[in-house]
Structure 1
Amino acid sequence: MKGLKRTVLLMVFGFFVIGISSCSLLSNDDGKSYFQSVNNDLESLNQRVQIINNDIVLDSLKSKFSSTSSTLGGDKFTHIANVESPEVNGKKLSATSIEIRANKVYISYHLNGSEYAGAVDIIDINDEENPKIISSLISEDTDINALEIEENAKILWITGGRDVGSSGYSLQGHGGAILGEKEIEKGVFKTGSGSYREIPLPSFSGNDIVDFAQDLYVVSGATGGGFYQLNKGNLSITKRVDNNFAKSIDRRQDDVIGLNLLADKRANFTIMDFKSDAITTFQTPFAVTPVDGKNVLEHTAAITYVALGNRGVKGYKFSTSADTPVYEFNAHGADVANGVTVDGKYVYIANGTDGLFITTLPRDGKTEPEEVYSWKSNSTNTASANFVKTNGQYIILANGVDGLNILKISGS
């Protein structure tokens, strides 16, 4: 296939402009209400957890081994539990994003449709056979589309959006997107005044966020959005790259890489190098649909993997010598690729109503995986997998309004 179009902008970040840094911060003790509540009651929270603890059977799409198997590459996969999505005012939320830190899983949720509401769960997986929700943050007026956890797990950052008419911010360059910071104390969300602060972002909805040294990098979209560097000390925007339909962002060695869709629906990658003060962009030669789909990228071991909807998942190295994919997989199933995550052995793909696909990593110069397996929980036949995350020991699969599947990987 034709390679990516490559553009390099050596502009000493003149391409960036400072913006929205003068907006005042709001916190729980300045008279503003965020319609938030914290639930740390284990009994009520864990009514949403269903313990399974059964080995799972992986259906083979392509394998040199058997057509079905409970193992792959010498590893056994176990379905540990399902977690039901929380409700706000009687309306079921949809799981949107996942992070794993040590023995905790953090999951964000939003409300589908034109109304706004969101939540974040903290799940303790220290007891491998009995995961428990230990804390939940509920927002009655704000969608939470993505989250990030500080390395020491004492701060949660969220991004999403609310009705701009009730946002409380100036409408200049702001359509409802926000970034918030919530304190965590002894593993659970802190209650009381002063434990939360936030700022408005450009555009309508915050879509992704990543922690990198002294800064946060946040994505918002669609129209009027882009990629933003924020100072963690005061949450002010210090640098920005404006790109419509900005989708996702991740760390990449000493720089960050962001994904957005161009006007002609082609995927555009922006590499922001803060050492050489250069911006490099790559555009695919093909269109990606749906435009409003969830397109997640994750950078692992020198490869950037990206879920490109109807185009499946591709992995790129983004170098001058190799600007074509080094990994490609498209299930050509009933749905499209929404999310991707990678460990040292496998690529995991959230493929909507098709469920989870597990493939081998690229090897021997081949772009297509040698083995491909699929799995879908029988208890969530209507589920649509939109996000997946792994730490090499657990796989956490987000299924929208059908909540989560928690899977465990162990040597056979």
Structure 2
Amino acid sequence: MKSTLSNKKVWLMAISATFLVASCSDETTIFENPEDNLVTETNQTKLENSVNFERAGVLDIYEDPIASAKRYNTTGKAEAAGDFPLTLVAQIAPPTFSNGENLTATHVVLDGDYGYVSYNTVGQDYVGAIDVINISDPNNPRVTSRVYYTNADLNSIAYDNGYIYVAGGVDSEQSVRATANSLVAKIEVSGGRMNTSNITYGFQEGFNATDVRVFDNIVVVTSGQDGFVVTYDKNDLSVLNEAAYADLRSVAYNGLEIAVLDASQGVSFLDENLTNKRSIAIDSDFGIDAKRTLDFSGDNIVVAEGSKGAGVYNATSGSFLEFLPILTNPENAEQGDIVTNGVAVNEDVLLMANGAGGLSLSEKLNNTTEGVGVIELTGSINYVASKGDYIFAASGKSGFQIIKLNRPSTSLAARCSDLQSYSGSANLNVNNGDDLAYRGSKRFNSVNVGGNLLLCGSWTVKDHVNINANGLFEMNGTLVVGRNNRQRNVTVNSGATLRIEGNLTIYGDLILNDGATIEFIGDDSIAAIRGNVVKSETAIVTGNFNDYYDKF
């Protein structure tokens, strides 16, 4: 049966009154248009309090795929310093409001200085939300705008040229506007704030819209369970083309063609007219109404296949190449909850959102993909996106988590190109008389310097950093130590020098003992000390730098 499709431009009327959900200053103050079931959060305090820094700091990666997320090396060999020095920037709590207490993060898209997040409600209720997060300052992300939908689940989100596009489901029987259960909405956003006075909607058949992508002048929306893939004109959401499918879950675009994932048959590759050019048959169990995504990776396409992990296929021939298994089963997790919901590719990094199995990271090397491990995060991970130096992981009712890859800059890599790459122990010890210099990006457990050490690149240290008497530690790039809920110190002892050119972040104290020196080189260095600067009277601080938390 052909779908009934329509679109409507919605002009939201100004509201002359507001109401307060509760008396506490941290509760939601909202403007609402009952006709459009739309609520705008206006309480700035509540937006600010959505950001949680409790677990911010250095992230470990559980590298043993068998030992159920155990951190410790049991082979008797010295633990090597790990690649990918990741840090958790912050966690964003899911929105809550009256009759909207069970929202879960479903999707995120990154563009420039902002991340855009969609939320839905598990179960029969149709309640959703959208967050806009400013990530221009990695030490201080901020929720700048929030909108609630009181009669719509929002399952996917895209951004293009000043507009957010969200796809989801609406209870059409309770809506005065919806002509079908699957919707797409176009919302203007500028300077991190959504403008809800002029929203354009489109509706299509299908139990629930599952995904949305925008490219050129086209918006592509999929809807599951007897739904359609539909292309809309980006300007007014008028329908261009449609094609029926049994159970669509996701859509991807590689600049040349569209790929859609149908849980009943596999992947289909389409042109802009939605003509099926070829298909890849996949017989995996994709679950009922479960989120599953796909993403292009060079000449290949990676498909989230539930309990199997992620399948990698040649996008042209359809040949199966490999399965990327779910690396770790965390203790006490329900087996049925350990499924690959989503995949994301960022240059040489491939990420898998594995539900209760966490967020796994793999590295693309030549023509193979090697599993690195599972990132130390909380919550069940149901979606992941990555762009530039950031990873956003949607964690259901735990909201979502912002992770920084801490990749060394291109210019820094050039300056350090003559140095040897570090490939030694996770516990870096520089003895008296040693003069060592390395480049790279590694995760350390600890650093102890008695001689001279130069590190050029991006580095994290889970535990302490000690610079012993008369030692010299020079760092060019990024160094992060500890985390907020497990603070660790950097100690500079008598006659020792810590020389920084770049970004120094310490989740703990910086201790400058008698005769210690810390030097900042250049004019752009940053010192972000979460604890205190404990400075003796004879300690010396020199150079120009940004004292981010005013601790010096």
* TM-score class normalised by the smaller sequence: 0.7 to 0.9
When residues 61 and 84 of structure 1 are mapped into structure 2, their CA distance, relative to the original with a 3 A threshold, is: same
Asked if 1 retains the 8 angstrom alpha-carbon contact of 2:6 and 2:202, the reply is no
1:156 equivalent in alignment to 2:159: no
1:243-392 correspondence to structure 2 within 5 Å: 243-262=245-264, 267-274=265-272, 279-284=277-282, 286-320=283-317, 323-325=319-321, 328-331=324-327, 333=329, 334=335, 335-361=338-364, 363-366=365-368, 369-377=369-377, 380=378, 383-392=379-388
Provide the secondary structure at the position in 2 that maps to 1:234. coil
Structure 1: how far apart are the matches of 2:172 and 2:81? 49
> Could you tell me which residue of structure 2 aligns to residue 190 of structure 1?
195
Provide the secondary structure at the position in 2 that maps to 1:80. strand
Provide the secondary structure at the position in 1 that maps to 2:46. helix
- How big is each residue's C-alpha offset from its partner over 1:345-391, in whole Å with a ceiling of 9 and x where there is no partner? 21111111121111112x4444xx333311243xx4xx211001111
When residues 18 and 253 of structure 1 are mapped into structure 2, their CA distance, relative to the original with a 3 A threshold, is: farther
Of structures 1 and 2, the one scoring higher in RCO (CA 8 A, sep 6+) is 1
Q: Gaps (5+ residues) in structure 2?
A: 15-32, 74-78, 330-334, 407-457, 460-552
1:98-137 correspondence to structure 2 within 5 Å: 98-137=108-147
- How big is each residue's C-alpha offset from its partner over 1:204-258, in whole Å with a ceiling of 9 and x where there is no partner? 2111000010110001111x20211111122122111211110000112311100
Q: Gaps (5+ residues) in structure 1?
A: 1-16
Letter in 2 for 1:122: V
Provide the secondary structure at the position in 1 that maps to 2:56. strand
> Could you tell me which residue of structure 2 aligns to residue 28 of structure 1?
12
> Could you tell me which residue of structure 2 aligns to residue 5 of structure 1?
none
Letter in 2 for 1:93: L
Structure 2: how far apart are the matches of 1:293 and 1:149? 23
Structure 2: how far apart are the matches of 1:389 and 1:70? 28
User: 1:77 is matched with which residue: 86, 99, 111?
Assistant: 86
When residues 232 and 62 of structure 1 are mapped into structure 2, their CA distance, relative to the original with a 3 A threshold, is: same
> Could you tell me which residue of structure 2 aligns to residue 13 of structure 1?
none
For normalisation by structure 2, the TM-score amounts to 0.63
Asked if 2 retains the 8 angstrom alpha-carbon contact of 1:25 and 1:197, the reply is yes
1:46 equivalent in alignment to 2:48: yes
- How big is each residue's C-alpha offset from its partner over 1:267-306, in whole Å with a ceiling of 9 and x where there is no partner? 411111238955222212x332423221111123232212
Asked if 1 retains the 8 angstrom alpha-carbon contact of 2:3 and 2:204, the reply is no
Q: How far did residue 34 of structure 1 move?
A: 1.4
Number of aligned residues: 372
Structure 2: how far apart are the matches of 1:80 and 1:316? 34
Asked if 1 retains the 8 angstrom alpha-carbon contact of 2:228 and 2:244, the reply is yes
Give me the CA root mean square deviation.
Answer: 2.6
> Could you tell me which residue of structure 1 aligns to residue 395 of structure 2?
399
When residues 403 and 23 of structure 1 are mapped into structure 2, their CA distance, relative to the original with a 3 A threshold, is: closer
Asked if 1 retains the 8 angstrom alpha-carbon contact of 2:200 and 2:236, the reply is no
Letter in 2 for 1:84: A
Letter in 1 for 2:189: I
1:204-223 correspondence to structure 2 within 5 Å: 204-222=207-225
Structure 1: how far apart are the matches of 2:88 and 2:7? 46
Q: How far did residue 26 of structure 1 move?
A: 3.8
Q: How far did residue 327 of structure 1 move?
A: 5.6
- How big is each residue's C-alpha offset from its partner over 1:81-102, in whole Å with a ceiling of 9 and x where there is no partner? 1111111315120000000000
User: 2:184 is matched with which residue: 170, 179, 183?
Assistant: 179
For normalisation by structure 1, the TM-score amounts to 0.83
Structure 2: how far apart are the matches of 1:196 and 1:70? 53
Structure 2: how far apart are the matches of 1:23 and 1:347? 37
- How big is each residue's C-alpha offset from its partner over 1:44-103, in whole Å with a ceiling of 9 and x where there is no partner? 20211111431111110359xx96789643x31001111111113151200000000001
Asked if 1 retains the 8 angstrom alpha-carbon contact of 2:5 and 2:204, the reply is no
Asked if 2 retains the 8 angstrom alpha-carbon contact of 1:94 and 1:403, the reply is yes
Asked if 2 retains the 8 angstrom alpha-carbon contact of 1:19 and 1:239, the reply is no
Letter in 2 for 1:180: A
Structure 2: how far apart are the matches of 1:124 and 1:71? 32
> Could you tell me which residue of structure 2 aligns to residue 225 of structure 1?
227
Q: How far did residue 329 of structure 1 move?
A: 2.8
When residues 159 and 71 of structure 1 are mapped into structure 2, their CA distance, relative to the original with a 3 A threshold, is: farther
Structure 2: how far apart are the matches of 1:170 and 1:82? 34
When residues 231 and 18 of structure 1 are mapped into structure 2, their CA distance, relative to the original with a 3 A threshold, is: farther
Q: How far did residue 196 of structure 1 move?
A: 1.1
When residues 38 and 22 of structure 1 are mapped into structure 2, their CA distance, relative to the original with a 3 A threshold, is: closer
Structure 1: how far apart are the matches of 2:184 and 2:174? 15
Structure 1: how far apart are the matches of 2:234 and 2:311? 32
Provide the secondary structure at the position in 1 that maps to 2:173. helix
Asked if 1 retains the 8 angstrom alpha-carbon contact of 2:243 and 2:274, the reply is no
> Could you tell me which residue of structure 2 aligns to residue 140 of structure 1?
150
Asked if 2 retains the 8 angstrom alpha-carbon contact of 1:169 and 1:200, the reply is no
When residues 162 and 21 of structure 1 are mapped into structure 2, their CA distance, relative to the original with a 3 A threshold, is: closer
When residues 161 and 278 of structure 1 are mapped into structure 2, their CA distance, relative to the original with a 3 A threshold, is: closer
Letter in 1 for 2:398: D
Asked if 2 retains the 8 angstrom alpha-carbon contact of 1:317 and 1:326, the reply is no
Q: Greater Rg, structure 1 or structure 2?
A: 2
